[in-house]
Amino acid sequence: MTQAKRAAPARATAWVLENKTLSPVEQAYNYILQGILSGELAPGMRVPSESVAEALGISRMPVRDALRRLEGDGAVTIYANRGATVAEYSHDDVIQLIEMRAVLEALGARLALAHIGDAEMEEFVHLRERMDRAVNDLPNWITRHDDFHNYLTSLSRRPLLMRQTERIRMMLRPYFRRHHAEQQELEIPGHEHQKIIDAVASGNPDVVEQTVRAHALANVEKIANLT
């Protein structure tokens, strides 16, 4: 069990950029994830390693690796001897995920306050406007919406927290899509998110945390009821 300790290699954060040809595992990972995020692969659908392998012209082995990683991300569920399916979250699961996201993003927002100046406030308004402009284009709007929240969380300078919230958001993606697709209008332009901007502008950590938390929990029931 014991292994010689050796200095861990430097964290390669930029390997994506220099690698033009993605490795088979990465191809498979991106391919499947894209399918889930885009909505092509709906919750419950099977993801046979064979068909993915064939589609990408690789063997099943890297696909399996990719599926394991996606399982860790909560994007797919792997049943023993029965393969992988796009993760399906129940009514209660969705509630839990939203609750978790709420407290985590609220925490992120609170911690972000320390790093917010005029430039950042401007950026918030900018992001809100971009969101509003995409109000009639659902896929685009979802992206912009995520941009807004991710930016706020990113200002906390907490990469692990960021990663966590992104992960949960990814898990919820299919259900948010469904929810927004059924709404007549996505949001009275900017209204909800302006409240967050105002809270941030106030500079009060408790207010910020509470506002973001409430925002995330806003229509938890409506979303969960779709499942």
Q: Which residues bind DNA (CB under 7 A)?
A: 3, 5-7, 9, 23-25, 46-50, 58-62, 64-65, 78, 80-84
User: What is the nearest approach in angstroms of DNA to the Cβ of residue 87?
Assistant: 15
Which of 119, 95, 18, 27 lies closest to 67 in space, CA to CA? 27
User: What is the nearest approach in angstroms of DNA to the Cβ of residue 46?
Assistant: 6
User: What is the nearest approach in angstroms of a second copy to the Cβ of residue 70?
Assistant: 8
Q: Which does 55 bind (CB under 5 to 8 A by kind): a second copy, DNA, none?
A: a second copy
What would the DSSP string read from start to end of 19-84? -SS--HHHHHHHHHHHHHHHTSS-TT-B--HHHHHHHHTS-HHHHHHHHHHHHHHTSEEEETTTEE
- φ, ψ of residue 77 to 5 degrees: the values are -120, 135
Q: Which is nearer to a second copy, 46 or 133 (CB)?
A: 46
User: What is the nearest approach in angstroms of a second copy to the Cβ of residue 159?
Assistant: 8
- Between CA 183 and CA 44 the distance in angstroms is 23
Q: Which does 211 bind (CB under 5 to 8 A by kind): DNA, a second copy, none?
A: none
Binding residues (CB under 8 A) for a second copy: these are 1-9, 12, 15, 23, 35, 40-42, 44-48, 51, 55, 64-65, 68-69, 71-73, 77, 79-80, 82, 85, 88, 92-93, 96-97, 99-100, 103-104, 106-107, 111, 158-161, 164
- Between CA 65 and CA 9 the distance in angstroms is 21
Q: Which does 158 bind (CB under 5 to 8 A by kind): a second copy, DNA, none?
A: a second copy
Which of 63, 55, 41, 78 lies closest to 170 in space, CA to CA? 41
Q: Which does 106 bind (CB under 5 to 8 A by kind): DNA, a second copy, none?
A: a second copy
- Segment (H or E) for 85: strand 83-86
User: What is the nearest approach in angstroms of DNA to the Cβ of residue 75?
Assistant: 15
Q: Which is nearer to DNA, 74 or 83 (CB)?
A: 83
- Within 13 Å of residue 31, how many CA atoms lie on the same side as its CB? 24
